[in-house]
Structure 1
Amino acid sequence: MVETTTFPGTGGTSGTDDAKSHFTKAVDEAIAGAKALGSEAQTRAEEYREKVQSKLHDKADGLTGDAKARTEEYKEKAYGLADDGKARASGALSSLSQLIQDNANVLDERVGGKYGDYARGAAQSVQNVATKLDEKSIDELGEEAAEFVRQSPALALGLAAAAGYLIGRVLK
């Protein structure tokens, strides 16, 4: 036979039941408190996340705006430089045409009229190229260059190599 000892004020087995009940209530309260804290933490985390995302979005918008402004600025500068280069090339071709035209008379005297006529024809062709270059916009010239490369890629590559070689020789 098992004897149970009862302590004064505990009430026997009902004291154990009371302790279990208190412990269960304490655990339930702790769980409820943890859930409430978790909920509050999620709410605050969401608020901070929204603030950070808003600041990042604002920063990205500002950087995008700056990039667009600089792109336009550099685009305008590039077009200006391209126009200057086009004008210089046209001027150089006109000068070359005039030089050939001036020397056509010398060719007439020294080699013969036939070669002078060839020189005059070449001078006229160079002048026509200069005039066409002067009349076209940078966009039109770019489109024509792209079309030429599409139609004759090998020739375009050869011309680019030759131009690169010549520029390299001039710069040495």
Structure 2
Amino acid sequence: MADTLNETGSTNGIGTANTTTPTPNTAIPTGSSSGEAPKKSVTEAVKESAEKVKAAALKATENVDWKTHSDQLKDQATRTARSAADVAKEKTGTAMQSLSKLISDTASTVDAKLGPQYGDYARYAAEAVSGAAKSLDAKDVDQLMGDARDFVRKSPAVAIGAAAVVGYVLMRLAKGSDSSEDA
């Protein structure tokens, strides 16, 4: 059986390690080349190692071009947001066209049940939704964002009210989907 080293670096001669656990004030060898090894406490050795790691980390971060990294992240986020906005615009346009067709298809039923005046209202609503969908499809995301900014500048109260209504509807939709999953 081979001798093993104990905490001070010497062997215990019986083939097993010394089971004494070092304490913060236990002396450990520092590896000095002189005949007599100066002793340091575990706490001092850990502090010294931590300082070395800290210095290495600072040196490594000094050579990083943070502006380039932040510009790359900004560009990536912009591309991702633009892509998501394009997909959302396309889906919204398609949904609005479908809604317009649905309203237009039900206009004859409204004529029969409620009268031609209400059927005309339904056809007018279908045309308005269809026109909005065409307008949405004709513009790119940047134009839509510009239009939204202009609207908010011209009518901030209406914009805040619309945002509150949309937030409320989204909250109700989210709550509704949570309660249906629990059932």
Q: Which residue of 1 aligns with 2:86?
A: 83
Give me the identity figure in percent: 38
Quick check: 1:106 aligned with 2:109?
Answer: yes
- Once the two structures are superposed, what CA deviation does each residue of 1:75-113 show, in whole Å capped at 9, x if it has no partner? 101000001111111111111111100110100111111
The 5-angstrom pairing of residues 2-151 of structure 1 reads 56=62, 58-59=63-64, 61=65, 63-151=66-154
Provide the C-alpha distance between the structure 2 equivalents of 1:100 and 1:136, rounded to a whole number of angstroms: 24
Provide the C-alpha distance between the structure 1 equivalents of 2:74 and 2:153, rounded to a whole number of angstroms: 28
Gapped regions of structure 2 (runs ≥ 5): 1-57, 176-183
Gapped regions of structure 1 (runs ≥ 5): 1-51
- Once the two structures are superposed, what CA deviation does each residue of 1:24-43 show, in whole Å capped at 9, x if it has no partner? xxxxxxxxxxxxxxxxxxxx
Normalising by structure 2, report the TM-score: 0.61
- Once the two structures are superposed, what CA deviation does each residue of 1:14-55 show, in whole Å capped at 9, x if it has no partner? xxxxxxxxxxxxxxxxxxxxxxxxxxxxxxxxxxxxxx99x8
Question: Which stretches of structure 1, 4 residues or more, deviate above 3 A after TM superposition?
Answer: none
Provide the C-alpha distance between the structure 2 equivalents of 1:170 and 1:99, rounded to a whole number of angstroms: 22
Residue 171 (structure 1) shift? 1.4
Q: Which residue of 2 aligns with 1:48?
A: none
Q: Which residue of 1 aligns with 2:16?
A: none
Which has more radius of gyration? Answer: 1
The structure richer in helix per residue is 1
Amino acid at match of 1:81: A
Give the aligned CA root-mean-square deviation in angstroms: 1.7
| Equivalent residue pairs, number | 117
Query: Greater relative contact order (Cα 8 A, min sep 6): structure 1 or 2?
Result: 1
Residue 140 (structure 1) shift? 0.6
Provide the C-alpha distance between the structure 2 equivalents of 1:73 and 1:149, rounded to a whole number of angstroms: 28
